[in-house]
Amino acid sequence: MRGRRGQQHTDTRLGPLMPPMPCGYVKENWLWEAKDRCPSVELCHGRQEVYFHTDPVLESCGTAGVRGDTGFLQGEHYWEIEFLEPPSGLSVMVGVGTSRAPLCAGNFQYVNLLGLDAESWGLSYKGKIWHGGSSQQYAEPFYEEGTLIGVHLNMEEGTLTFYKDRQSLGLAFTGLHKVQLPLFPMVSSTSPGTELALGLRCGTLPTLEERCLSTLARNLTQRDYADLLPLPAVVRWKLKNWKK
């Protein structure tokens, strides 16, 4: 595994950012969440690389997932996941989910974790997209080491689109703006030796509303105090769900 041999990952193919992002995007620096994750997940290189099922004896005893440390309620966001090893096994997935989405399926349950229920949306390396326990064929499978999967989350339009090697695979999901919970980047795998690396991460510049919500959220000692403010109900809801 390249990460364990101490070789820092670099993407030698970085070039001009292909759309999806509009003009005015900025770099984002979120990482994989270290505290709330499945025990079968190991993070390396400053939480930018994730390794699944690393126990040399048990190997894989189920399905493991991890989410990003930042969730998104507004704006457009784009990030890339590189497959440092060829994907294999029943399922390796990239997608998004709420904080309620499960991160583990133990007891030798090998499942498509992202999209297992209504709390997450995922793309399997076999080319299927999953949500609410249902799937449909979306793209050709991909098996190559070094594959880049891009994720374009547009919370203004409520859409999720995947990219392969910076070429759009087409619209995958709609209606995500109705979720009313922050959506977090997620990955999952059933297969021992799965290695995924975070690449490019960017988003649109915050709007005036977002800057105001961020300032208010930082100054609230308790989230429920938002209900006491003379603001419209929808603004109070956004404030209570805002990530400080």
- The pLDDT averaged over each successive group of 10 residues in the chain (244 residues) is 44 53 83 88 94 74 92 92 94 96 86 96 98 97 96 92 95 92 95 92 82 77 82 83 64
pLDDT of residue 57: 57
Task: Find tokens 């030798």 and name the residue.
Answer: 108
- Structure tokens of 129? 């997209």
Q: How many residues does the chain have?
A: 244
pLDDT of residue 9: 47
User: Can you say how many angstroms the Cα of residue 2 is from the centroid of all Cα atoms in its chain?
Assistant: 22
Taking the C-alpha atoms of residue 160 and residue 152, their distance in angstroms, rounded to an integer, is: 6
pLDDT of residue 116: 95
Residue type, 47: R
Question: What residues have CB less than 8 Å from 183, skipping those under 6 apart?
Answer: 71, 72, 73, 96, 97, 98, 153, 155, 176
Helices (DSSP H) in the chain: which residue ranges? 208-219, 233-240
Beta-carbon count within 10 A of 211 CB = 11
**Which helix (H) or strand (E) segment is 98 a member of?**
none
- Structure tokens of 158? 């409520």
Instruction: List Cα–Cα distances, 100 to 55, 181, 194, in angstroms.
Output: 27, 9, 24
Taking the C-alpha atoms of residue 153 and residue 223, their distance in angstroms, rounded to an integer, is: 26
| Extended beta strands in the chain, E state | 25-27, 41-44, 49-52, 63-67, 76-83, 92-97, 104-105, 120-124, 128-131, 134-137, 148-154, 159-164, 167-173, 184-189, 195-204
* Cβ–Cβ < 8 Å for 89, 125: no
Task: Find tokens 């999952």 and name the residue.
Answer: 188
